[in-house]
Amino acid sequence: MQIHLLRWATVSLCLFLTNCESGYNPLDDYEQLDPATIFATPDPLPSTSYSIEQLSRGKYLVELLGCGSCHSDGALVGNSVEGRLLAGSQTGIAFTSPFVDKNPGVVYPPNLTSDMETGLGTWSINQLLQMVRMGTRDHSPRSIPVMPWPAYANITSPDALAIAAYLKNLAPVHHEVPRNVAPGQKATAEFIHFGVYQSKQ
């Protein structure tokens, strides 16, 4: 079984369905990339509400969980943008398969810094805790597509609070990401597709 990280190119589902038997490989329409997965997380700002230990623990957990791999601009395509660590991504992630949907649904990882306009600056600690534990957006009961929140669902309360406190105390970075795209709509910004493919042989 192989795991591919792929950038979306124009693929015709019709060609995919009709040409498989003739040796057509739909992966030929993609470029395989090497995402940036390991890099330092930014230090939090000093806080009067949370201890140094909580903020340090939150930074450690955010780095350990790899949040920056998706939420840092350029990381998904292997070219992180300086000054935009955890500030959201201009490259989205398809959450439906481009082999099934000609125009897949795409989510653009949001800005996790404390910027009041483009980040989480207006979010309460409770909203941040809900996002960590259940992967829900602000004021939305629906889980965020592609966020691996089920792996975080059993996180301890002190660890969840440490993550929320850390994010709340990140220096604000003003960076607006593209709007998410529903399945069937055409994306106007680039995106990648995580796929797991198994040979039928």
Q: What digits encode the pLDDT tens for the residues 166-195?
A: 999 999 999 999 999 999 999 999 998 887
How many Å apart are CA 91 and CA 190, to the nearest integer? 5
- Could you read off the pLDDT of 53-104 as tens digits, one per residue? 999 999 999 999 989 989 999 999 888 888 999 999 999 999 988 888 889 9
Please give the residue that has the higher pLDDT: either 10 or 84: 84
Single pTM value for the model? 0.78
The band of 10, judged by pLDDT with boundaries at 50, 70 and 90, is very low
Q: Which amino acid is at 136?
A: T
Instruction: Name the token pair of 55.
Output: 């903020």
Quick one: pLDDT at residue 142? 55
Exposure pattern of 67-76 as b/e (b: 16+ CB <10 Å)? bbbbbbbbbb
Coil, helix or strand at residue 69: helix
Instruction: Name the token pair of 154.
Output: 């059993």
Strands 2-7 and 31-32, by their bridges, are: antiparallel
How many Å apart are CA 115 and CA 44, to the nearest integer? 13
CA angle 74-194-139, nearest 5°? 75
